[in-house]
Amino acid sequence: MSAQIELSNIDKHYGSFHALKGVSLTIEKGSFVALVGPSGCGKSTLLRSIAGLESITSGSMSIAGKPMTGVPPRKRDVAMVFQSYALYPHMTVEQNLTYSLRLHGVGKVEAKLKAGEVAATTGLTDLLKRYPRELSGGQRQRVAMGRAIIRNPKAFLFDEPLSNLDAALRVHMRKEIRALHDRLGATSVYVTHDQIEAMTMADHVVVMRAGVVEQQGSPLELYDRPVSRFVAGFIGSPAMNFVEAVVGADGRSAVLDTSGGGTVPLPAPLEAGRAVVVGLRPEHLRAVPDNGQFTLIVGNVESTGSTTFITSDDELVTLVQAERTGLKPGHSVALTIAPEHVHVFDPATGLRI
Ligand code: ATP
């Protein structure tokens, strides 16, 4: 694989506000990269900088090996797909698809032919004569993608393209976008604040926090070995439980500071008496009839039908079970967890120990 987009030490200031702080990133040709992070972390700014819609304060960037300094957006050969589809309401689907080609001097017949090909790829063949108001949200999203595809760009840049759609359609469109990416052999950069979207669609996930790249890797690398409490809390649903604890005298377990008390085994020995924060994913906790390592005193029980969420009375620990349960507030549950599933963080820095 070769780099399709290379970002080196990108800084962006909006007046006195430092929105991107030394971001370096290599986006391989053919990869699907998701930029995720909480609102305001700079992911849209980074995407817009790649598109040339935002000027960067310092650093450098290349697309397909060409330096992009001073290159205007329309010469960058990338296509943006937004959440607001920005279709022309007075034009048919076909005219929406061919508009930018016509603008770039492509003849009418050739543009129509290309529109036919793109419509076939995106499932719009029967809708070419319709106007945007006559389409569903998912169909409009497909036209927006078709319009990007027709220009055969070096990369697709998606800015939360699915956030206007209802939950079921979003799940469907995720698969459609990913399948399209694979079919076209495209390079895609996808901004979302939805970690599930990032985890299910991308080959490579970049977690941003306050203008810096906190961690990047494959979805499962981030899930299995988050470098910090921030990433650990962001990746995975329901979110990881974080509990303050102190390493026990044996150095191999940590005594939990929870209402139910008890210990969890540590994945590697640590010095006795050290204060830590342990991260326990709800799906890794096992309820056992007796001989639990630690105890959860039930505060709240919620069931979605397929899944039951049991939260402790101090709200520090949530347990997820596939089975229904007769547990009520005040009951105790004995729990165990395997040492390899216990994540340990430094309470002061939040970094993985
Ligand atoms: P969201 O998910 O909410 O869209 P984001 O991670 O995409 O968030 P950005 O839109 O990249 O965030 O914005 C990053 C930060 O830069 C925010 O704190 C935002 O307020 C600030 N910002 C964005 N555009 C401007 C601007 N034109 N002038 C000043 N500050 C800006």
Examine the domain organization and report whether 14 and 65 are in the same domain. Answer: yes
The pLDDT of residue 123 is 86
If one counts the domains in the chain, the total is: 2
Backbone angles phi, psi at 180, to 5 degrees: -65, -45
For residue 91, what pLDDT band results from cuts at 50, 70 and 90? Answer: very high
- Work out the average pLDDT over 193-217: 95
> Which residue's C-alpha comes closest to atom 10 of ligand 1?
44
Ligand 1 centroid to residue 146 C-alpha, Å? 28
Ligand 1 near 281 CB (within 6 A): no
Ligand 1 near 12 CB (within 6 A): no
* Site of tokens 């649903």: 237
The pLDDT of residue 301 is 95
Examine the domain organization and report whether 84 and 219 are in the same domain. Answer: yes
Taking only Cα atoms into account, the Rg of the chain, rounded to an integer number of angstroms, comes to 24
Give bridge partners of residue 298 from the DSSP assignment: 312
Ligand 1 centroid to residue 138 C-alpha, Å? 27
Examine the domain organization and report whether 225 and 290 are in the same domain. Answer: no
Examine the domain organization and report whether 113 and 176 are in the same domain. Answer: yes
Residue 250, classified by CB atoms within 10 Å of its CB into exposed (0-12), middle (13-18) or buried (19+), is exposed
Examine the domain organization and report whether 117 and 151 are in the same domain. Answer: yes
For residue 67, what pLDDT band results from cuts at 50, 70 and 90? Answer: very high
- Work out the average pLDDT over 8-15: 96
Of 214, 234, 254, which residue constitutes the final position of a domain?
234
Ligand 1 near 45 CB (within 6 A): yes
Examine the domain organization and report whether 56 and 100 are in the same domain. Answer: yes
Query: Looking at the predicted structure, is the pLDDT value of residue 24 above 80?
Result: yes
Q: Across the chain, what does the average pLDDT equal?
A: 93
Backbone angles phi, psi at 303, to 5 degrees: -125, 135
Q: Which of 11, 13, 14, 190 to mutate to test the pocket of ligand 1 (most atoms within 8 A of CB)?
A: 14
- Work out the average pLDDT over 191-220: 95
Ligand 1 near 41 CB (within 6 A): yes
| Cα(312)–Cα(208) distance, integer angstroms | 31
Q: Kindly state the percentage of the chain with pLDDT values over 70.
A: 99
For residue 340, what pLDDT band results from cuts at 50, 70 and 90? Answer: very high
Ligand 1 centroid to residue 40 C-alpha, Å? 5
The pLDDT of residue 173 is 84
Q: Is the whole-model pTM more than 0.85?
A: yes
Query: Looking at the predicted structure, is the pLDDT value of residue 84 above 80?
Result: no
Is 350 a member of any domain? Answer: no
For residue 245, what pLDDT band results from cuts at 50, 70 and 90? Answer: very high
Take residue 15 and report the two structure tokens written for it.
């007046």
Ligand 1 near 114 CB (within 6 A): no
Of 210, 234, 258, which residue constitutes the final position of a domain?
234
Which domain does 325 fall in, by range?
241-345
Is 21 a member of any domain? Answer: yes
Ligand 1 near 39 CB (within 6 A): yes
- Work out the average pLDDT over 96-101: 91
Of 206, 234, 262, which residue constitutes the final position of a domain?
234
Ligand 1 centroid to residue 215 C-alpha, Å? 20
Residue 268 near residue 325 (C-beta atoms within 8 A) = no
Tens digit of each residue's pLDDT (9 = 90 or more) over 107-130:
999 999 999 999 988 889 999 999
Q: Which of 12, 18, 43, 206 to mutate to test the pocket of ligand 1 (most atoms within 8 A of CB)?
A: 43
Ligand 1 centroid to residue 44 C-alpha, Å? 7
Examine the domain organization and report whether 229 and 110 are in the same domain. Answer: yes
Residue 293, classified by CB atoms within 10 Å of its CB into exposed (0-12), middle (13-18) or buried (19+), is middle
Examine the domain organization and report whether 318 and 288 are in the same domain. Answer: yes
For residue 95, what pLDDT band results from cuts at 50, 70 and 90? Answer: very high
Ligand 1 centroid to residue 81 C-alpha, Å? 18
Nearest Cα to 158, choosing from 117, 188, 122?
188
Examine the domain organization and report whether 223 and 128 are in the same domain. Answer: yes
- Work out the average pLDDT over 252-279: 97
The pLDDT of residue 192 is 94
Is 96 a member of any domain? Answer: yes
Ligand 1 near 43 CB (within 6 A): yes
Ligand 1 centroid to residue 45 C-alpha, Å? 6
Strand, helix or coil at 53?
A: coil
For residue 1, what pLDDT band results from cuts at 50, 70 and 90? Answer: low
Ligand 1 centroid to residue 299 C-alpha, Å? 38
Among 39-43, 163-167, 292-296, the range scoring the smallest mean pLDDT is 163-167
The pLDDT of residue 151 is 84
Query: Looking at the predicted structure, is the pLDDT value of residue 85 above 80?
Result: no
Ligand 1 centroid to residue 21 C-alpha, Å? 13
The pLDDT of residue 36 is 96
Is 67 a member of any domain? Answer: yes
Ligand 1 near 17 CB (within 6 A): yes
Is 225 a member of any domain? Answer: yes
Query: Looking at the predicted structure, is the pLDDT value of residue 310 above 60?
Result: yes
